[in-house]
């Protein structure tokens, strides 16, 4: 069974552009159901990045949803990041000598990627970022950093296809 680890941009873009909570609530019900089944999770660092908005986001429907106890507890990956793996991701994927400004720029992405390393065959990072191999240092993209670290990566739509999302989905009766 694959475990899809969501980048912050997956939820932000889904709510803003494709599956707004008001227009496509079934997407969010499905996502929470998939999280409860162990198919989709979000590292705490990434979830908090969305929820807290990096200090600049307004409290929108997505932030409100992520603040709900049931959503938070179901969606969050119940693991602690391995600091050595995070450091390794930064060194291999970005540069071993990033300064404070660059570290701030890359945000929580190294944590997301580090969570996939212990089980590379079944954990997949999901991000809407597009590969840009020529980018350097803090400007590197998630798919490229994943590849540098031997981690599987896909975009949102690939995950949705692989997990069988449809707007006709109905939550199974308990």
Q: What is the pLDDT of residues 76-106, one digit of tens each?
A: 999 999 999 999 999 999 999 999 999 999 9
CB atoms within 10 A of CB 3: 15
At a CB cut-off of 8 Å and minimum separation 6, what does 89 contact? 110, 113, 114, 117, 145, 149
Share of the chain above pLDDT 70, in %: 96
Q: Which residues contact 79 (CB under 8 A, 6 or more apart)?
A: 43, 115
pLDDT of residue 51: 85
pLDDT tens digits, one per residue of 6-46: 999 999 999 999 999 999 999 999 999 999 999 999 999 99
How far apart (Å, rounded) are the C-alpha atoms in residues 118 and 151?
Answer: 10
- pLDDT for 56 equals 46
If pLDDT is split at 50, 70 and 90, which confidence band does 52 have?
Answer: confident
pLDDT of 59 over the 90 cut: no
Best CA proximity match to 111, nearest among 45, 15, 168, 58: 45
* pLDDT > 90: percent of the chain: 87
Cα distance between residue 10 and residue 159, in whole Å = 11
Domain spans, the chain: 6-163
Q: What is the mean pLDDT of the chain?
A: 93
Residue 39: exposure state from Cβ atoms within 10 A (0-12, 13-18, ≥19): middle
Q: Which residue has the tokens 């540098």?
A: 148
Q: What are the E-state strand segments in 7-141?
A: 40-41, 123-126
**pLDDT value at 58 more than 80:** no
| 108: its two tokens | 């929580």
């Amino acid at each position: 069974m694959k475990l899809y680890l969501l980048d912050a941009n997956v939820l932000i873009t889904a709510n803003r552009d494709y599956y707004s909570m008001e227009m496509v609530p079934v997407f969010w019900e499905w996502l929470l159901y998939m999280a409860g089944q162990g198919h989709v999770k979000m590292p705490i660092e990434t979830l908090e990045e969305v929820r807290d908005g990096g200090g600049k986001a307004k409290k929108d429907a997505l932030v409100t949803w992520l603040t709900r106890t049931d959503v938070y507890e179901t969606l969050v990956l119940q693991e602690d990041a391995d600091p050595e793996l995070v450091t390794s991701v930064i060194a291999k994927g970005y540069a071993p000598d990033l300064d404070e400004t660059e570290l701030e720029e890359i945000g929580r992405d190294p944590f997301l990627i580090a969570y996939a390393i212990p089980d590379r065959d079944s954990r997949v990072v999901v991000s809407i970022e597009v590969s840009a191999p020529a980018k350097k240092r803090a400007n590197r993209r998630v798919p490229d950093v994943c590849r540098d670290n031997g981690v599987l990566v896909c975009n949102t739509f690939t995950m949705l296809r692989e997990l069988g999302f449809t707007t006709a989905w109905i939550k199974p009766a308990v």
